[in-house]
Each structure stands twice: as structure tokens, then as C-alpha cells.
Chains A and B, each alone.
Chain A
Amino acid sequence: MPYKCNKCKKQWMHKIGKCIFCDGELHEIIPENLEVMHCIEVNIPSKQHPEVPYYVLQVKDKSGNIYFRKSKTQKKPGEKWA
């Protein structure tokens, strides 16, 4: 993700098949050059993430799209995320 329409260039974070506005094909964009904006340490275990601490990063790609990413190590704002 994300998925971008070849014709009208609208974008989705969810896989939805074809563009709902122009019926164009959607192609998946592989996020590149992710940069860390925030890094929050989590010490609250859940069924999906029983091992704590872990870190939730807010990262931004070169197009300005924002994602959350789980990390086992702490990162600083401005650091690259592969």
C-alpha cells in the first residue's frame, strides 16, 4: 500500500479493486525513503503484541503519506526507516 488510480491519481490505503470514481486500475505503491516523525515506547501488552516494550513509529514517505510501523528498537525523529 497505498494504492493509486492510474487515471485520476486518487489514492487509498486499503485494497479496494478498481477506482470508485473513474473505474481506473489501481496500482500499489511501495513506500520509499521512510523517515521517522514520532517514536513512542509501548509497555502495554496485547494478544497480538505480547512482548513489551516495543516502539510504534510514525513514519512519512517521500510523497507525504504517513504510516505506523512497529519497531523492536527505539528510533529518533529524522532517522530513516527501512
Chain B
Amino acid sequence: MYICGVGRTKFGKLELELPEIMTEAVTKALIDAKLRLKDIDAIFISNNLAGLNQGQLHLNSLLATILKIDIPIFRLESTCASGGATFYNSLFSLSKFKNILVLGVEKMTGLASDLLSTNIGTTSDLNLDQEQGFIFPVGAAMIIERYEKRFGNVMDDLALISLKNHENGNLNEYAHFYGKEVTLEKIKGSRTIVGKLRLYDCSPVSDGAVALVVSKQKRDRRSIKIQACEMATGPISLSLNPRTSMPAVKTACKRALSSAGMKILDMDLIEIHDGYTIIELITMEDLGLCKPGQAGKLIREGKTKLNGKIPINTDGGLKANGHPIGATGLAQIYEIVTQLRGEAGKRQVNAKTGLAHNIGGMVGSCVVSIFKRD
């Protein structure tokens, strides 16, 4: 199985509605794959919040209406892991189809902040979390507290993660924060959201879409091989996991590496789901890049920067590239494909293999995918 075409919109506050955002990404992916719509056998849509944010469900039929097609179209939701989970599910269809399209889309701006916060909160447990006032930034702040209790001060390391991702995002013209200078002083001086969690430890509210054309056979030299894609699930509430590590991440990663017949240190670049900077840090440990408590050292040594041994979030990550929930997991794949093709311009790293880590909740769903240039 190969990714033969990729397309995306800019991420950020877009003056576009869902139909326009979806159409732009689909059109670009088809052009990139040198295919036409009639060559696509089925479409899989990843979306989290359109039902709540826009009052629009049945996106599969909406897309069929826009594209004037009647092929099978499906929509899947798994909160912030919607992209990864949709990609994972789509691959099974290649036993029947030749070329499929995977589309991730989200429109998040333009809502009152309390309504958006409520809508995002619906992806946590109704009784255990929502009724008790738990929101995801609280979870990130709690993980920071737990981590510091176990391993000592981590805030300076988190600021370095944020800085790295903003530096990378400034080399990605599609990124939410492209063209915006963010310094270490600005990050450290940003207002606290909850607990020790600062504004610049959080990913932004973004609109955007990404589309991928996935084919059963390699089409040309720009086709990138899907070496493995595996998923694991876990508890919906952080209250059910009092640790500084996420079992679903470890399991999904182990499954993906086993399926690919590779080791984590074989990876030349990694996309980590840094919804909060602390998640990038603990995920480095859960993926096995280092022992628990040691991720900060790798960050301080610059090992995860563009010129480091294992570049992480070369597109800016969720922090700077942006986080339009349904599109996020596919944006990570877009970046890895772009890097493995050698088409990443100023942020290009030397890479033959790449891994994407996409999570939902803390952590209720995790998809780990591995790609290879062959």
C-alpha cells in the first residue's frame, strides 16, 4: 500500500466554510497523484466536531453532493485521533479497491470560546470528567505536576519543545503560526492557562483540511510505502490512568514497529501529537526514544531539532502547524510523505523512514503509522 498523492489547506483561522476547505484539499491531492476523481473508488472522511460546531453531520453525503459522485464514502470519529483512525480503517478497503482517498477536515474558529470548549469537552467522559469540570488543559497541567513530582522541573524543557516547533513551523508556509516570530522569552512569559500550563504549551484552535490518495500499488517514484499502521485504545478518562506514561501509546507503537519489522531508532523523523508540549515529552519516552525521565536531556541537546539525530515535528507539530482536530492525524502523514519524497524545502531532513503518532483523549485512542521510501 502506498500514498500516491497529498494535498492540504493552510491551517489557522480560515475565511472558508467546510465545503470549500474539503474541496481544496481533495483537489490538491488528486492533482498531486495525477489522478482524476473517476479513478477514486471510495473516500474516508475524518472529522470530530462538525456535528456540534456547525450543526452538520452526514459529511459523506455532503461530499458526494459537492463532488457529484456516488462512490462509497464513510465518516469516522475518534476525537483528536480521528485522522489516524480513519487512515487505519481505510487501509482495509484496499482488499477491494485500487485507489481511495482519505480526507480530514475541521472548522473550529468562529465559535464563542465557551461553546468551543464545551464541544471539545464532549470527547472526555460525561460522568467522570465533564460533570466534574475536567477539561483537557487540566489534564495536561496534572501530567506536568505528576512528571515534576517524579523527575523534577520540566517547564524549561517544555519551553524548548515549543520553541523548536515554532522554529519548524516558520519553515512551513501552510502552518498556523507561519511568519509569526515566537521567542523563548515569549513562550516562558506567556500567561498560564491552568496550573503551570502556559499558553505557548498549548496547540492553537485551527481550521483546515488534508487529503491523501492511497493506492494498492506503487504508482511512481514519489509514491511512499505504508510500512505499518496499528492502533490501540485506552481509558476515556485521565482519572483511570494516574501515571506519567500512556499505555495505549506504548501498545500502538509496539504493534506498529513489530508489524514493520523495525526498531524505533530506525526512524529518521517522527511526528508526535503535541497537543500540549508535555505530551511531546512523555511520548518520546513512551515511544522508547529514551528512558522515563530522560526526554528533557534529548531536548536540551537539540537531538529532536531539524539537524538533530531524530527530528520531531518538522512541520511545527500541532503547536505551530496547527490542530484542526479531524485533519491533524493526516497532516502528520502529509509531512512525513513530503519529507520522504525530499520535497520539504527549507525544513528538509535526510530521511528514508518516518513514524506518525496520533492520539485522542489522554490517551483513549492511539494510531502509530510507519512510512518508508523504497
* Total residues of chain B contacting the partner, CB 8 A: 28
Q: Does B259 contact A (CB under 8 A)?
A: no
Is the contact region of chain B dominated by helix, strand, or loop, or is it mixed? helix
Chain A residues with Cβ under 8 A from B118's Cβ? 46-48
- Given A13-B237, A38-B142, A56-B138, verify A44-B194 contact (CB < 8 Å): yes
A39 CA to B145 CA in the complex, in Å?
10
Q: Can you name the residue of chain B whose Cβ is closest to the Cβ of A49? A: B133
The answer for the CA separation of A32 and B361 in the assembled complex, in Å, is 28
CA distance in complex: A70, B117 (Å): 17
Interface segment, one of B102-110, B124-132, B162-170, B307-315: B124-132
B193 — which chain A residues lie within 8 A by C-beta? 43-44
User: How many A-B contacts at CB < 8 Å in the complex?
Assistant: 74
Which of A37, A40, A45, A67 sits near B138, CB closer than 8 Å? A40
> When each residue 12-34 of chain A gets 1 if its CB lies under 8 Å from chain B and 0 otherwise, what string results?
01100000000000000000000
Q: Which residues of B contact A68 (CB under 8 A)?
A: 128-129, 132-134, 237, 239
Q: A47-B118, A48-B118, A54-B133 are in contact. Are A41 and B195 (CB under 8 A)?
A: yes
Least CB distance, A76 to chain B, in whole angstroms:
13
B295 to chain A, nearest CB (A): 21
* Interface residues, chain B, with chain A CB atoms under 8 Å away: 113-115, 117-118, 121, 127-135, 137-138, 141-142, 145-146, 193-195, 237, 239-240, 242
Seed contacts A47-B114, A66-B242, A68-B129; 19 additional CB < 8 Å A-B pairs: A13-B239, A14-B127, A38-B145, A41-B194, A42-B135, A43-B193, A44-B113, A44-B137, A45-B114, A45-B117, A46-B114, A46-B121, A47-B115, A48-B130, A58-B242, A67-B132, A68-B133, A68-B237, A70-B132
Report A's interface with B, CB cutoff 8 A.
1, 13-14, 37-38, 40-50, 54, 56, 58, 66-70
